[in-house]
Structure 1
Amino acid sequence: MGKPPHKKRRSLKWKFIGGVVLVLLLFGMPVGDIVNGFVKPHEGCRVWQVTDGDTVKIWCNDGSYPARILAYDTPELKARCSSELLMAVRATLYLRWLLWRAKKITVKIDGVDRYQRKLVILLLDGEGVARRMVEAGLACWYDGGRRAGWCETPRNGPANG
């Protein structure tokens, strides 16, 4: 006999809501990052985009640069397993939330890595972001060198190795 018409309308309603949420995630958060980066009091360069849990884009007097935040490592969005992807999304959203909550953002450049990203120390209200990310269980301490994967030990992160 077919489905009643109200079921079809309800399905379209949820597809519309899902589409709106997707658009907000894709465009709303990055726009929020830009506004936050240029409105907030800062010292040094401005953070104007969150790429993932340990990578941002910064705006300095001489231009825009990708930047790797020092002292910690988070899972990659180009994940090798579903648990790594889930943790990567959580770490990215948490870093964005920390930046949005901060009253003052300080970016100290401390060199360049092999991918030509600026290496930065990121302070939020005078406190290092690394400690907050590690304490939240979304990152592990990292001092350079080889990194272990996040798929093997997704809850506590990999050990430096």
Structure 2
Amino acid sequence: MRILFIYASIVLSSLQGVANASVPRSQACQHQANEFRCVRYLSNYDGDTITFQIDGVHPLLGDKIPIRLSGVDTPELKSKQRCEKELARWAKRFVRAQMRQASTIKLSEVKRGKYFRVVAKVDFDGKDLGDLLLKNGLAVPYDGGKKSKVNWCKKLAMRSSSSARR
């Protein structure tokens, strides 16, 4: 009986190796401890919460994972301020457009945030999404601590006046 158990264990182990070998992952797409490569954009709730398809992660994590963009804070869609809501919609559309056009997306510096959310830097086609949001006036720097009060109406006015000059 013991020999049968050992034999069955060896057979199952070898079959597991065959199953894993049948799904080759490119070396460029190998995940690291704090970095996911070759992820696919699925959707974004707003400018700083994006859902990605991350193949090859443990099933307990799931493969469709919402990521909180690190280093920035974008306006909230559920705000009572009209200016903040409008800028939030712009940020959402901006992120959607950038992610849909991206040919490669990488999540780096992946960690858990203060609300146990997954927080990461999002790089696509050699560009940093957080930096682009900041440069376009659609976000403010954020280190994960207490959020500072932002005058989104002033940011919207600045953005509108710079758009009018173009």
TM range (shorter): 0.5 to 0.7
Distance in 1, matches of 2:130 and 2:154, equals 17
RMSD (Å), alpha carbons: 2.2
Consecutive unaligned residues in structure 2, runs of 5 or more? 1-28, 30-35, 157-166
Are the aligned partners of 1:54 and 1:72 in contact in 2 as well (CA < 8 Å)? yes
Shift, 1:68, TM fit = 0.3
Q: How does 1:35-50 map to 2 (within 5 A)?
A: 43-50=37-44
In the alignment, residue 40 of structure 2 is paired with which amino acid? R
Distance in 2, matches of 1:149 and 1:80, equals 14
Shift, 1:93, TM fit = 0.4
Corresponding residue SS for 2:83: helix
Consecutive unaligned residues in structure 1, runs of 5 or more? 1-40
Distance in 2, matches of 1:153 and 1:145, equals 19
Distance in 2, matches of 1:44 and 1:103, equals 9
Are the aligned partners of 1:140 and 1:156 in contact in 2 as well (CA < 8 Å)? no
The answer to whether structure 1 residue 127 and structure 2 residue 121 are counterparts is: no
* Count of residue pairs brought into register by the alignment: 116
Larger Rg: 2
Report the counterpart of residue 153 of structure 2 in structure 1.
154
In the alignment, residue 80 of structure 1 is paired with which amino acid? K
Shift, 1:51, TM fit = 1.1
Report the counterpart of residue 91 of structure 1 in structure 2.
91
Corresponding residue SS for 1:52: coil
- TM-score, with length taken from structure 1: 0.64
Shift, 1:77, TM fit = 0.8
Report the counterpart of residue 51 of structure 1 in structure 2.
45
Identity of aligned residues (%): 27
Shift, 1:120, TM fit = 1.0
Shift, 1:122, TM fit = 0.3
Are the aligned partners of 1:109 and 1:118 in contact in 2 as well (CA < 8 Å)? no
Distance in 2, matches of 1:67 and 1:56, equals 5
4+ residue runs over 3 A deviation: none
Report the counterpart of residue 107 of structure 1 in structure 2.
107
